[in-house]
Amino acid sequence: MTTEPTREDVILEIDDIHTYYGAIHALKGVSLNVRAGEIVTLIGANGAGKTTTLRSINGLNQPRDGRIRFQGRDITSVPSHQVVKMGIAQSPEGRKLFPRMSVRENLEMGAFQRSDRKNLREDLDRVYTLFPRLSERKNQKAGTLSGGEQQMVAIGRALMARPKLLLLDEPSMGLAPIFVEKIFEIVREINEQGTPILLVEQNALMALETASRGYVMETGRIALADEAKALRQNEQVRKTYLGEGA
């Protein structure tokens, strides 16, 4: 079983949130937390509520009930642009790049709310070190990149906000296996550099191999929560999400 975090360890705390799309009750009492230095993954089938959980955190779909706290502050009703300013950045599902803008311009968009513009060069260098391919293509239009390269831009753009918490929504979606390996390698490296990560991912095996803890979502609820290693060994998880036989 997971150990109880101390209050000082918790970066993000979600407590019994209920989120709706109109009359549709999408999240039905979701609770989870992310501690300092962790990669926490959220896995589940399509439509389970994973992306809605991220949208609830970043202010795009504010919960009707429950509480979300970030670094001890209640952000349940904080608008999304303020959530970004507070230090939560997201690489969204489908990447959502500006296709006619260059790689560098897309990356710089990630820092548009920052006041310390003088440090942009340092942060660009960090992104180019993590993703050398982007340095080679910094003047290329983002829409002409491969899917894997576009995912690198999306993650790099989120890092340009200097996040205190990074939300990753389906970073491996639609990528060739060689790019999937590379993306998860970079996710681990970002975390080792000090950024906690909440990872939503369809590739449950890669997610559980990368994360320290995990939550399994089913129809808007948390069905299981445990250390990632324990979830990898859980018979139901192996059968349902890892494609292994009973």
146-155 tens-digit pLDDT:
988 999 999 9
Residue 157 in domain: no
Beta bridge partners of residue 20, listed in sequence order = 25
Q: Residue 34's domain is classified under what CATH number?
A: 3.40.50.300
User: Confidence band (pLDDT; 50, 70, 90) for 246?
Assistant: very low
Residue 144 in domain: no
CB 36 within 8 A of CB 49: no
Q: In this prediction, what percent of the chain has a pLDDT beyond 70?
A: 95
Residue 33 in domain: yes
Residue 240 in domain: yes
Number of H helices and E strands in the chain, helices first, is 10, 10
Mean pLDDT value across residues 106-129: 85
Residue 145 in domain: no
Residue 159 in domain: no
Tens of pLDDT, residue by residue over 141-191, are: 999 999 889 999 999 999 999 999 999 999 988 888 888 888 999 999 999
Q: Which residues of 84-121 are buried (b: 16+ CB within 10 A; e: fewer)?
A: bebebbbbbbebebeeebbbbebbbebbeebeeeeeee
CA distance linking residue 73 with residue 43, whole number of Å: 26
User: Confidence band (pLDDT; 50, 70, 90) for 245?
Assistant: low
For the chain, what is the domain count? 1
Residue 18 in domain: yes
pLDDT, mean over the chain? 91
In this predicted structure, the answer to whether residue 1 has a pLDDT above a threshold of 50 is no
Q: What is the pLDDT of residue 2?
A: 47
209 residue type, one letter: E
Note down the domain range covering 36. 1-79+200-246
Residue 52 in domain: yes
| Range scoring the smallest mean pLDDT among 99-108, 127-136, 175-184 | 175-184
Tens of pLDDT, residue by residue over 13-59, are: 999 999 999 999 999 999 999 999 999 999 999 899 999 999 999 99
